[in-house]
Structure 1
């Protein structure tokens, strides 16, 4: 192959189509877009330097996944797991030491367009926030095994080769990982994907949610929630649960301030860029990226990432207050 002969452009053409899916894999492992990008870049650099050792059996994909997975395992060893506020116990990780889970821009999932409809749905579900958060409770090795087997579809023997271990070790780790996840993930029987909800229903739900916030209508917001809904705002540790808990937060947050919302997409989920009016600057400034999880057609969880980089999610860095819809 030309790449093996030292042709950098040929290597780029060879690995380019796989870069997005490798990043998604590393994100599932690490819970961080930034760490995932670093892991993929280091993996590709290492692959380029070691290309003479690649045994060409028709596809470079498994070899790249092996390098990227091992790089992710090394990164995990250097730090603790990433958290959401709702996963922290009162006597758990000190706030100063908490490392927060990061949202994943849907625009980085362009590789899913090459998949069929069913495979595309599964790919989106594999980066949903609840799933990635649950993965963080697995050991690094269990995480890798489960992703290679249940998400990427490698056989036990193939996963063992990628991880330089044995088939019994893979099967044992997979059994333990599945058991842990079963106790952490929400009941999927009532889980509502965006694809199942349909475009019209998605637009209607998004419109109602944005309008309620911009109008400061606390009752309308609460009416869209499930009884056990949760609301968190990393990097703040505090979070709220249930109608009363969330209503108390909303009375202060929604009524005392002026808001603008824009729809967005992250982790395969409906999301909103939220903007808070800034008197000093005379603009609506970014306040948080809200990821919304649904049960049926109600909201079961909102995670508002206060430090999200809005342009990364296709959102403007600020909004002006010139149009009449800003006034209440």
Structure 2
């Protein structure tokens, strides 16, 4: 059944028809909310709020734009309202200086503070390789982190135009403004994001590695970590690699400081790693042995540069790792 047929049924009060419609667009809306808010948990709240508002306001949808455009209007406005109530999500580098000792990693910093990882969903029906590349690139950790530095409207404009492909006129309709205002906001947003982004995206770095190179890197990382082979692990890192682990405030800068941390703290207990994908990047569900069994203790997302790992983004908050609990 087409969207138009489902829409007509939904307008007549058929809630099941609306649920089918919502399911067709939910994944794209969910990713949009994640880019806007930097949090899987906040994105879930925003999607639920948006779809409820869309169902209740369906009678007011005049059909002057596509259903997709209207749903993004409802969802974007929900994200803007939510982001106005909360501080922007940040990375460990922005919260405080790097640690040089390992005896005390600090108390967890709780609340809506940290940028969260995005659990990739396999997409088997994507016929366009360029679109798949953009989809992965647009959820990379560095890009989503850079977005959080933009005012809400600029963030929305950049995502709507550059990621989702809406025209200036469509973005203006979604944000209830003018195309001229959209173009002005777009220019400022691109300048800010470009300043905060690495020279090459992770998709470009991974493409350079190739499928075999990526597999070799993942296998070597798993083997070094599970064997607690510090030298082998460090050999995979750039000299200026960083290791973060929110909600703990501790993070470590440079190979030698990372050596100290993994030697004195990280490898004090055994681990088992399951390769996954998060944020369009290589990642691992890390299971820690608690004396009885292996339990999911962290999710690590890797960023690479010139074939080596430049950032291990560890996430140890159970409220975050639960999204990866099936791994």
Residue ranges of structure 2 left out of the alignment (5+ in a row): 1-7, 98-107
The question of 1:102 aligning with 2:116 is answered yes
SS of 1:106's partner is coil
- SS of the aligned residue for 1:226 comes to strand
Secondary structure, counterpart of 1:137 in structure 2: coil
Task: Deviation per CA, 1:241-266: give whole Å up to 9, x if none.
Answer: 11222111122134432221111111
Higher relative contact order by CA 8 Å / sep ≥ 6: 1 or 2? 2
> Mean Cα displacement is larger for which, 10-19 or 282-291?
10-19
Q: 1:314, CA displacement in angstroms?
A: 5.4
CA separation in 2, counterparts of 1:304 and 1:315? Answer: 18
- Determine whether 1:313 maps to 2:320: no
| Alpha carbons 1:192, 1:295 under 8 Å: kept | no
3-state SS of paired residue (1:113): coil
SS of the aligned residue for 1:286 comes to strand
Aligned twin of 1:326: none
1:80-159 aligned at under 5 Å gives the runs 80-90=87-97, 95=109, 99-107=113-121, 110=123, 113-159=125-171
Counterpart pick for 2:59 among 52, 64, 69: 52
Q: State the distance in 2 between where 1:256 and 1:88 align.
A: 27
Corresponding residue number in structure 1 for 2:311: 301
In structure 1, stretches of 5+ residues that fail to align are: 317-328
> What's the offset of the Cα at 1:105?
0.9
User: How far does the alpha carbon of each residue in 1:20-40 deviate from its partner, in whole angstroms, 9 at most, with x for none?
Assistant: 000000000011112111111
C-alpha spacing 1:34/1:299, structure 2 compared with 1 (3 Å): same
Q: 1:24 aligns with which of 23, 26, 31?
A: 31
Partners of 1:187 and 1:277 lie apart in 2 by 38
1:296/1:104 CA distance change after superposition, 3 Å: same
Alignment counterpart, residue 235 of structure 1, candidates 237, 247, 266: 247
Describe the shift of the 1:124–1:142 C-alpha distance in structure 2 as closer, same or farther (beyond 3 A): same
Residues 200 and 315 of structure 1, relative CA distance in 2, 3 Å threshold: farther
Structure 1-normalised TM-score? 0.88
Is the Cα–Cα contact under 8 Å of residues 30 and 82 in structure 1 kept in the other structure? Answer: yes
| 1:196 positional shift | 5.0
Aligned: 1:199 with 2:211: yes
Cα-to-partner distance string for 1:76-133 (whole Å, 9 max, x where unaligned) = 011100112112245xxx95666111111112x64x7335111001001101111111
What is the aligned counterpart of 1:218 among 223, 230, 233?
Answer: 230
Q: Residue by residue, what CA displacement relative to the aligned partner does 1:260-309 show, whole Å, maximum 9, x if unpaired? A: 11111111111111122212xx1122221000011132111111100255
Are 2:46 and 1:35 aligned?
no
Aligned 8 A contact 2:202 2:303 in 1: no
SS in 2 for 1:83: coil
Other-structure match for 1:322:
none
Q: Distance in 2 between matches of 1:78 and 1:189?
A: 31
Relative to structure 1, is the Cα distance of residues 16 and 97 closer, same or farther in structure 2, using a 3 angstrom cutoff?
A: closer
1:44 Cα offset (Å): 1.1
- RMSD of aligned Cα (Å): 2.1
